[in-house]
Structure 1
Amino acid sequence: MASRDVFTADEVSEVMSRENVFDGAFKCLRRIWSDPKALEARQLSSSEYRARQLERELEKLYSPLYDDLIGQMGGHPVASAESGSVVIMDALSLREGFQLEREFQEETDWEVELDWAPVERLPSETNFITQAWFDSHAPSAVNRDDFRFVGDMNVPQLPGTSPEYVWTRYPDKRLESAMKGNYSTENVSDIYADVKALLEEIITESVHSEFLVSSDHGYINHLGNNPYSLRDDLEEGLSGKFSGRSREVANGYVYQQLEEAGVIKRANDHYMVAGHYSWTQRGGTKRIMHGGLSLPECMTPVLRINTETA
């Protein structure tokens, strides 16, 4: 797929001319993921490929892409909320964010706007971000009067404080089992439908009319073709040293080799796999992962909803 299939000429110009290249990338990702059929089984592979190719081309055009992304971490809107309801949906990505924006605008009279924010910190793992936001090792362990953890599709009584914080285990709970090995056991579009229904119930149950909906991180989906290729020695290095998309920094020639090739990046005493590189592991390769350094993992959706419209 040529870059012209991903970018329009105007979008190329806008991405590279903006003060923040990720704002331009956000606009390109909107064109890919706001399509009503983007998450459906027949189109998902194509949507994912276009998003990967977009990121690959951006990195070629703008070599500091990942260094800039690392530099923008911190100051997430969740951390500075002062009122209303803050809903953190574990692993909600821009894929789902664009669909929620489009459908809520079409189906409700709510005011709905979508923007993006970089993850609070790296690696983009829930435990690190929960520690940064709530000084706890996991969302289920947070013990605060203004916080509720929702572990399934049933919404408990919400705090009613301002702000109130609601952390849902979805969609990550379903994504973890959605694609194992080479087989899909659940459709991403079905997972999205549950996420939308859960969010609607939270909005209905809350005493608030203003909502900030976001996530701790997004995710990589390795479904379908991938424009990121690895030399045999680099693939062997990744498969031997990485069980996921991040690991603690360690000494060794293999890490040096991977870092010099731009396959991994270093931040916060961790190495993270950059972009959409994938590698084969024994026992089947997970198709959905997070913890690395890529646009769909590290650009989180920031959905602002006002249900009390004039």
Structure 2
Amino acid sequence: MRLKADLQEQYEISVGYSFSALPSDTDPFKHRIFGRINIAQWESPDFKFVHDLSSIPILPESDTLTIWTQLPDDKLHHTRSGHAEPWPVEDVYADTRRLLAEILQTCRHDEVVVTSDHGYVDLTAGCTFLMGDKWKKMLANQFKERWKRKENNWELEQLYEQKIIRYADEYYVIQGRYSHITGRGKVNTRKHGGLSIMECMTPVLNVRRK
């Protein structure tokens, strides 16, 4: 893992994994962990929201401090100013690594757990599962994202029987690399919310000062 290699000169690192909530989206994760979705302005002695490198606050000494940032998620979702393409992954990683390094230096704790709410799946043309036009059209009719709330709907039941979508409590989620987007043109093909290893399996790094 690249992040482990970049940090291990200063820290002892152990790597594991966990899994996202379903759908593999930020809001279900926030609700499960924090019991709320709007956390940017949340005032709590055990929590700090960090926007970017320019806004790292003085961090509390709480034994159970949680620090949340949406910097990588925001950049992976959005395009650069004046560009049609999304931010390159290398640039997103570099910014995230710098932010994490600053947080680790600022934090008073000797041990920090680093993880994520979800992963991403690349749905670029040629990277998706093959699917007939009938099913692709049906999927496009029903899904704007890779998940939606359950409802009584014939097309959804057909997609479920074809194992293109699955149940996740009160939601339907798109399975694997099935997708109705073409992956061509000015479309961000980095997606999450569905049920795949890339979206749902998340790294867990235990970082300890040497």
TM-score normalised by structure 1 residue count: 0.62
Q: Distance in 2 between matches of 1:127 and 1:295?
A: 19
Summarize the Cα distance change of 1:284–1:247 in structure 2 as closer, same or farther, 3 Å threshold.
Answer: farther
Q: Is the 8 A contact 1:140 1:149 kept in 2?
A: yes
Q: Distance in 2 between matches of 1:124 and 1:174?
A: 18
Summarize the Cα distance change of 1:186–1:299 in structure 2 as closer, same or farther, 3 Å threshold.
Answer: same
Q: Is the 8 A contact 1:210 1:305 kept in 2?
A: yes
Summarize the Cα distance change of 1:132–1:188 in structure 2 as closer, same or farther, 3 Å threshold.
Answer: same
How big is the shift at 1:139?
2.7
Within the alignment, does 1:133 sit opposite 2:33 as a pair?
Answer: yes
Match of 1:300? 202
Counterpart of 1:134, as a letter, is F
Match of 1:247? 148
Match of 2:193? 291
Match of 2:158? 257
How big is the shift at 1:141?
4.2
Match of 1:101? 4
Match of 1:222? 123
Q: Is the 8 A contact 2:77 2:86 kept in 1?
A: no
1:212-243 CA distances to partner (integer Å, 9 max, x unpaired)?
A: 00011111222352251111111001111100
Q: Distance in 1 between matches of 2:150 and 2:157?
A: 11
SS of match in other structure, 1:144: coil
Counterpart of 1:151, as a letter, is H
In terms of fraction of residues, the more helix-rich structure is 1
SS of match in other structure, 1:213: strand
Counterpart of 1:302, as a letter, is V
Summarize the Cα distance change of 1:124–1:102 in structure 2 as closer, same or farther, 3 Å threshold.
Answer: same
How big is the shift at 1:190?
0.8
For structure 2, the residue ranges without an aligned partner over 5 or more in a row are none
Q: Distance in 2 between matches of 1:284 and 1:268?
A: 33
Q: Distance in 2 between matches of 1:289 and 1:138?
A: 22
Q: Distance in 2 between matches of 1:254 and 1:161?
A: 50
SS of match in other structure, 1:140: coil
How big is the shift at 1:143?
2.6
How does 1:1-310 map onto structure 2 within 5 Å? 98-105=1-8, 108-119=9-20, 121-154=21-54, 155-178=56-79, 184-223=85-124, 225-280=126-181, 285-307=187-209, 309=210
Q: Is the 8 A contact 1:126 1:138 kept in 2?
A: no
Q: Distance in 2 between matches of 1:278 and 1:285?
A: 13
Q: Is the 8 A contact 2:17 2:204 kept in 1?
A: yes
Counterpart of 1:139, as a letter, is I
1:32-52 CA distances to partner (integer Å, 9 max, x unpaired)?
A: xxxxxxxxxxxxxxxxxxxxx
Q: Distance in 2 between matches of 1:129 and 1:286?
A: 22
Q: Distance in 2 between matches of 1:167 and 1:280?
A: 31
Q: Distance in 2 between matches of 1:176 and 1:280?
A: 15
1:62-107 CA distances to partner (integer Å, 9 max, x unpaired)?
A: xxxxxxxxxxxxxxxxxxxxxxxxxxxxxxxxxxxx22012223xx
Q: Distance in 1 between matches of 2:142 and 2:62?
A: 45
SS of match in other structure, 2:53: coil
Counterpart of 2:7, as a letter, is F
TM-score normalised by structure 2 residue count: 0.90
Q: Which runs of 4+ in 1 moved over 6 A?
A: none
1:119-174 CA distances to partner (integer Å, 9 max, x unpaired)?
A: 1x211221111111111113314331110001222211112211211001120010
